[in-house]
Amino acid sequence: MSDDPTIFEQIVSGEIPGRIVYETDTVAAFLDANPLAPGHTLVVPKEPYERLDDLPDDIAADVWAAVQSLTPRIESVVDADATTVGVNNGPAAGQEVPHVHVHIVPRFEGDGGGP
C-alpha cells in the first residue's frame, strides 16, 4: 500500500465528494463518476488493497457479500434487466485506481455492451 490516500479512500473518508450508496465497517459503494450506464456502482474495501490477491479472506468475503446484496437493488432502482460485474485487476487489465474496486454495471435488454 502507498502512503498517499487513493481517490477511493478520500471518497470513503468524505475528504472529497462521492455519492456513497452503501457502507459497512469494511466496505463502501459509491456511484462511478463516469458511468457506463445509469447506476454504475463501484464496491471497494475501505482499506486500500491494490490487487484482488492482496485482500484478506474476511475482507474479500465482505466485498463479495456487498456485491451480491447490491446487484438486485441496483437493478431495481434503475429498472435494469441484468448487471455486469467485473474487476480490472492490475494496470495491464485497465485498472486505473490502485485500490480494489468491483464494477457493477446495470445492463438493459439489447444494450449491446458487455465484456
Q: How far is the CB of 98 from ligand 5GP (least distance, A)?
A: 8
Torsional sign, CA 90, 92, 97, 98: positive
- In DSSP notation, 54-91 reads GS-HHHHHHHHHHHHHHHHHHHHHHT-SEEEEE---SG
Smallest CA-to-CA distance from 102 within 16, 58, 2, 59 is with: 59
Size of the site for ligand 5GP (CB under 6 A): 13
User: Rule CB under 6 A: is residue 60 a binding residue for ligand 5GP?
Assistant: no
Nearer to ligand 5GP, 62 or 103 (CB): 103
- String of contacts with ligand 5GP for each residue 67-96, x by CB under 6 A: ---------------------x-----xxx
Interface residue with ligand 5GP among 9, 29, 30, 39 (CB under 6 A) is 30
Q: How far is the CB of 31 from ligand 5GP (least distance, A)?
A: 6
